[in-house]
Amino acid sequence: MNIVLEQAEEIIKVAKAKSTELNTKMNIAVVDAGANLVAFARMDGAWLGSLDISIKKAKTARFFDMNTGVIGELSQPGGSLFNIEHSNNGLITFPGGVPVKDSEGTIIGAIGVSGSSVENDHAVAEAGASATL
């Protein structure tokens, strides 16, 4: 199964609402099961540098089917995945990337959010990902 555009747009809508609720300005990217971009939105005034980061977070979350922050714990100096960020044209491994599942729990894509603290980025990504459950 793969995410469809209607789902991706609903994810972005929910993520934007959560971002506004948190008083943040986010870049929001949704990729499909093939880790390719399906939908994207940059909220007015959001950091320009977060554009690429949001897409890389979404890809990273789907590349390994886990939250990006989990990978970041393993990629630290001395960790088992030290500097894994050098692969795949650049991973982002701090929080803000979350796999997207359908109602049966199958991973159908991922969302990446960037534009605030990693806590806020993750909260918005979680909110967005919940839209397809």
Asked if residues 123 and 116 have their Cβ atoms less than 8 Å apart, the reply is no
Residues 112/94, Cβ–Cβ less than 8 Å: no
Q: How far apart are CA 63 and CA 35, in angstroms?
A: 7
Q: Are 16 and 45 in contact (CB under 8 A)?
A: no
Q: Does 56 bind a copy of itself (CB under 8 A)?
A: yes
Looking at 22, 70, 118, 126, which residue binds a copy of itself (CB under 8 A)? 118
Interface residue with a copy of itself, options 17, 21, 87, 106 (CB under 8 A)? 87
> What is the CB neighbour count within 10 angstroms for residue 106?
11
Per-residue binder mask for a copy of itself (CB under 8 A), 65-84, x = binder? x------x--xxxx-xxxxx
Note whether 18 binds a copy of itself by CB under 8 A: no
Task: Kindly state whether residue 44 participates in binding a copy of itself, applying the rule CB under 8 A.
Answer: yes
Q: Is 42 in the site for a copy of itself (CB under 8 A)?
A: yes
Euclidean distance between CA atoms 116 and 46, whole angstroms: 9
- Does position 117 interact with a copy of itself (CB under 8 A)? The reply is yes
Record the tokens describing residue 46, joined without a space: 């959001």
Query: Which residues are near a copy of itself by CB under 8 A?
Result: 4-5, 8-9, 32-44, 47-53, 56, 59-60, 62-65, 72, 75-78, 80-95, 117-118
